[in-house]
Structure 1
Amino acid sequence: MIHPQAIVEPGAKLAEDVEVGPWSYIGADVEIGAGTCIGPHVVIKGPTVIGEGNRIFQFASVGEECQDKKYNGEPTRLVIGDRNVIREGCTIHRGTIQDEGITRIGSDNLLMAYVHVAHDCVVGDHCILANSTALAGHVKLGDYAILGGFTAVHQFCQIGPHVMCGAGTVVLKDIPAYVMANGNTAEPHGINMEGLRRRGFSPESLRTLRQAYKIIYRKNLTVAEALPQLQQMAATDPAVQPLIDSLSNSTRGIIR
């Protein structure tokens, strides 16, 4: 399953059925789970742990040292879950000791061509990052988030679950859960209704989330003023809780 023109360093741990294409390089501190397919011309360095059933396409660079000038060769890590698709030319860097020392990518994500995930990012599950999207360091991306092509996210920003960003969006502040955003710089454009319908949210929850959005964005309230009203809504509809969590955890302020 390993092409004779691939280089797998001693110490790398690959499940028996892992495929490695020609001219790919697997470093000594790399662990790859069952059913994962590594294409040609891929570089994977470590310490990196990659789960099961992933597909990594040609010219991807996974687990390389980060581009943070404070990085000084510390043995930081990259951890990738299961069933991810990492397309051509993607770059995913390990963490730094200035954070938790780990870059994390969950499961069932699609990273299209030329996506960049910088040091210390945390990407949830079922996310789609379209072509040439770039996450700066320390970004957190919630489950089911979709970022259109050429989206650029500033360091330390948090993007909540079920968010959708249009192509070319520049994100300089946090985006609350469920919100659609677009523009340079990003502005809110309502709740991601169609995405939530596809994921099985009930009509009642959709109405509640629309009301919650109006509380945040239509009543000229601060986040602190809006939270008590949202908490009352969450008592009867748990779908509001991720929105509350994303507002409460915001460190850069939310898009307006």
Structure 2
Amino acid sequence: MTARIHPTAIIDPAAELDDSVEVGAYSLIGPHVTIGAGTVVGPHVVIEGHTTIGRDNRFFQFSSIGAPNQDKKYAGEPTTLVIGDRNTVREFCTFNIGTVQDRGETRVGDDNWVMAYVHLAHDVVLGNQCVLANGATLAGHVQVGDWVTIGGLTGVLQRMRIGDHAMVGFQAHVSQDVPPFMTVDGHPLAARGLNLVGLRRRDFTAEQIAVVKQIHKLLYRSNLTLEQSIAEIGQLRGQGGDAEVQLMLDFLASAARGIVR
């Protein structure tokens, strides 16, 4: 099969596109770009930089993928953007390459649903199965786990982390780490409860959900210090949610900038 390239698209001869890739009208693909099988690049999309894209992704019109980052220290180093498989990227999104001051790589996992006008700055790590609603903005060095939902027009401050299965509400200002499983929103940001709908949709067992509820209670409803909460959460092992307990303990152990409480 020959790659389906619109005659108005400009593809650098050095770019590596699988034969099944589609590229729409007036799109531009640079020399250091690799695109995997089944990926569809819509019209008026620019893909540049040292960018590697996996299989079966779809990029809608007017997105800028792999452009130089917006860090004033950037001096043209060959940092990268790596995008996994089966991601949907809607209109006017901007994904930038990394910086040598961090990992040198911006990374997007698999099966993410990224709506219009989303910005992923340098060195962002976005996990798998996430939903980013229209206008979500992730500053540099942000780390987002798996199965995370980020509401529209939300801003995430640089170096913040959002844990697995968390949900961030509409127009939130994320200036502290968001622990796994939690639902947060507001400005200032506040924890509102658990993402129970998400957990049930992902077939968490009743035992797992019960343990997550206890974790929430220890963190937010027991008037304990964070150190005391961590100690008590560790005692929940053996109740059917050991993976969830360990996930939370690992997240809290590396929460250098504090968590939403």
Q: State the TM-score, normalized to the length of structure 2.
A: 0.96
| C-alpha RMSD of the superposition | 0.9
User: Does residue 55 of the first structure (1) align with residue 84 of the second (2)?
Assistant: no
2:48 alignment partner in structure 1 = 45
1:226 alignment partner in structure 2 = 229
User: Does residue 247 of the first structure (1) align with residue 248 of the second (2)?
Assistant: no
SS in structure 2 of the partner of residue 190 of structure 1: strand
User: Does residue 4 of the first structure (1) align with residue 1 of the second (2)?
Assistant: no
**Cα deviation code 1:12-44 (max 9, x no counterpart):** 000001000010000000000000000000000
State the identity %: 50
**Cα deviation code 1:30-66 (max 9, x no counterpart):** 0000000000000000200000000000000000001
2:212 alignment partner in structure 1 = 209
**Cα deviation code 1:125-169 (max 9, x no counterpart):** 000000000000000000000001011100000000000111101
User: Does residue 112 of the first structure (1) align with residue 115 of the second (2)?
Assistant: yes
Q: Give the partner amino acid of 1:161.
A: D
Q: 2: CA distance between counterparts of 1:221 and 1:252? A: 18
Shift in Å at residue 248 of structure 1? 1.3
Pick from 181, 184, 191: which aligns with 2:184?
181
Shift in Å at residue 234 of structure 1? 3.0
Shift in Å at residue 221 of structure 1? 2.0
- After TM superposition, the structure 1 = structure 2 runs for residues 57-206 of structure 1, keeping only pairs within 5 Å, are 57-206=60-209
Which stretch shifts more, 204-213 or 89-98? Answer: 204-213
**Cα deviation code 1:82-117 (max 9, x no counterpart):** 000000000000000000100000000011000000
Query: Any unmatched runs of 5+ in structure 1?
Result: none
Q: Give the partner amino acid of 2:88.
A: V
SS in structure 1 of the partner of residue 184 of structure 2: strand
Which stretch shifts more, 179-188 or 223-232? Answer: 223-232
Q: Give the partner amino acid of 2:192.
A: H
Q: Give the partner amino acid of 1:232.
A: Q
Q: Give the partner amino acid of 1:198.
A: R
Query: Any unmatched runs of 5+ in structure 2?
Result: none
Q: State the TM-score, normalized to the length of structure 1.
A: 0.98
Q: Which runs of 4+ in 1 moved over 4 A?
A: none
SS in structure 1 of the partner of residue 197 of structure 2: helix
Q: 1: CA distance between counterparts of 2:49 and 2:225? A: 44
Shift in Å at residue 223 of structure 1? 2.1
Q: Give the partner amino acid of 1:74.
A: E
Q: How many residues align?
A: 256
Shift in Å at residue 250 of structure 1? 1.2
Q: 1: CA distance between counterparts of 2:238 and 2:230? A: 12
Q: 2: CA distance between counterparts of 1:138 and 1:10? A: 32
Shift in Å at residue 222 of structure 1? 2.4
